[in-house]
Amino acid sequence: MPLKRKDLLGIEPLSVEEINLILNTAKAFKEVSTRDVKKVPTLRGKTIINLFFEPSTRTRTSFEIAGKRLSADILNISASTSSVVKGETLVDTARNLEAMYPDIIIIRHSRAGAPHLLANICRASVINAGDGAHEHPTQALLDAFTIKEYKKQIKGLKVAIIGDILHSRVARSNIHLLTKLGAEVRIAGPATYIPVEIEKLGVKVYHHIDAAFEGCDVVMMLRIQRERQDKSYLPSLREYFNLFGLTPERLRRATKDVIIMHPGPLNRGVEISSEAADGPYSVILEQVTNGVAVRMAVLYLLMGGKYEEVVS
Amino acid sequence: MKKLLVKKGRVIDPANNLDEHLDLLIADGKIAQVGKQLEDKEAQIIDAQGLIVAPGFIDMHCHLREPGREDEETIESGCRAAAAGGFTSVACMPNTEPPNDSQSVTEFILKQAAEKGIVNVFPIGAATKGLLGEELAEIGELKETGIVAVSDDGNPIYNGNLMRKALEYTGMFDLPVIDHCEDRELSAHGVMNEGYYSTLLGLPGIPAAAEEIMVARNIILTALTKGQLHIAHISTKGSVELLKWAKAQVLRITAEVTPHHFTLTDKEVCSYDTNTKMNPPLRSTEDVDAILQGIKDGTIDAIATDHAPHRRDEKNVEYADAPFGIIGLETAVPLALGLVNRGVISISRMIAMFTINPASILKIERGTLSPGAVADMTLLNLSERVKIDVNSFQSKSRNSPFHGWELKGRAIITIVGGKVVWSAKHII
Report the complex ipTM.
0.94
Based on the fold, state whether residues B12 and B93 are members of the same structural domain.
no
Q: What is the pLDDT of residue A312?
A: 66
Based on the fold, state whether residues B144 and B262 are members of the same structural domain.
yes
Q: Which of B189, B193, B197, B200 to probe by mutation at the A interface, max A CB count within 10 Å?
A: B200
With contacts defined as CB-CB under 8 Å, which chain A residues touch B316? 89, 91, 117
Query: What value does the mean pLDDT take over residues B397-418?
Result: 97
Helix, strand, or coil (residue A5): coil
CATH number for B383: 2.30.40.10
Q: What is the pLDDT of residue A228?
A: 72
Q: For residue B352, give the amino acid letter.
A: A
> Does residue B367 form part of some domain?
no
Strands B150-151 and B229-231: unpaired
> Contact at 8 Å (CB) between A66 and A292?
yes
Strands A125-131 and A104-109: parallel
> Contact at 8 Å (CB) between B410 and B378?
no
Q: Which residues, given as ranges, of chain A have pLDDT below 70?
A: 312
Based on the fold, state whether residues B217 and B320 are members of the same structural domain.
yes
Cα–Cα distance for residue pair A218/A281, rounded to 1 Å: 10
- Alpha helix segments (H runs only) across B300-376: 312-315, 332-341, 347-354, 356-362
Task: Give the CA angle between residues B97, B102, B108 to the nearest 5°.
Answer: 65
Query: What value does the mean pLDDT take over residues B45-51?
Result: 95
Based on the fold, state whether residues B40 and B162 are members of the same structural domain.
no
* pLDDT 10s digits, B95-150: 999 999 999 999 999 999 999 999 999 999 999 999 999 999 999 999 999 999 99
Q: What residues of B act catalytically?
A: 306
Partner residue opposite A91 with nearest CB, options B188, B207, B316 = B316
Q: What is the pLDDT of residue B425?
A: 57
pTM of the model: 0.94
Helix, strand, or coil (residue B205): strand
In degrees and rounded to multiples of 5, residue B25 shows phi and psi of -105, 130
Q: Which residue of B has its CA nearest to A94?
A: B317
With contacts defined as CB-CB under 8 Å, which chain B residues touch A196? 194-196, 198-199, 205, 207
A134: burial class by Cβ within 10 Å (0-12, 13-18, 19+)?
buried
Helix, strand, or coil (residue B254): strand
Least Cα distance to B49 among B86, B79, B80, B5 occurs for: B5
- The answer for B130, left when phi > 0, alpha when psi is -120 to 50, beta otherwise, is left
Which chain B residues have any C-beta within 8 angstroms of a chain A C-beta?
188, 194-196, 198-205, 207, 271-272, 313, 316-321
Per-residue confidence band for B80, with pLDDT thresholds at 50, 70 and 90: very high
Based on the fold, state whether residues B206 and B261 are members of the same structural domain.
yes
Q: Could you say which of B311, B333, B362 is where a domain stops?
A: B362
* pLDDT 10s digits, A31-56: 988 889 889 999 999 999 999 999 88
CATH number for B333: 3.20.20.140
Q: Which residue of B has its CA nearest to A109?
A: B318
CB contact under 8 A, A133 and B313: no
Based on the fold, state whether residues B32 and B61 are members of the same structural domain.
no
Q: Which residue of A has its CA nearest to B196?
A: A197
Mean pLDDT, chain B, rounded, equals 97
Q: Which of A170, A197, A230 to probe by mutation at the B interface, max B CB count within 10 Å?
A: A197
Query: How many domains is chain B partitioned into structurally?
Result: 2
Q: What is the pLDDT of residue A81?
A: 74
Q: Could you say which of B318, B342, B362 is where a domain stops?
A: B362
Q: Which residue of A has its CA nearest to B188?
A: A230
Q: What percent of chain A has pLDDT over 70?
A: 99
Q: For residue B368, give the amino acid letter.
A: T
Based on the fold, state whether residues B135 and B274 are members of the same structural domain.
yes
Q: What is the pLDDT of residue B355?
A: 98
- Alpha helix segments (H runs only) across B146-300: 160-171, 184-187, 196-201, 208-225, 237-248, 259-263, 285-296
> Does residue B369 form part of some domain?
no
CB contact under 8 A, B199 and A196: yes
Based on the fold, state whether residues B34 and B122 are members of the same structural domain.
no
Based on the fold, state whether residues B240 and B389 are members of the same structural domain.
no
Neighbour count for residue A65 (Cβ, 10 Å): 17
Quote the domain boundaries for residue B42.
Answer: 4-52+374-427
Based on the fold, state whether residues B181 and B38 are members of the same structural domain.
no
In sequence order, the 6+-apart residues with CB closer than 8 A to the CB of B205 are: A196, B190, B192, B193, B194, B195, B198, B199
Query: What value does the mean pLDDT take over residues B168-177?
Result: 98
Q: Could you say which of B362, B397, B417 is where a domain stops?
A: B362
Q: What percent of chain B has pLDDT over 90?
A: 98
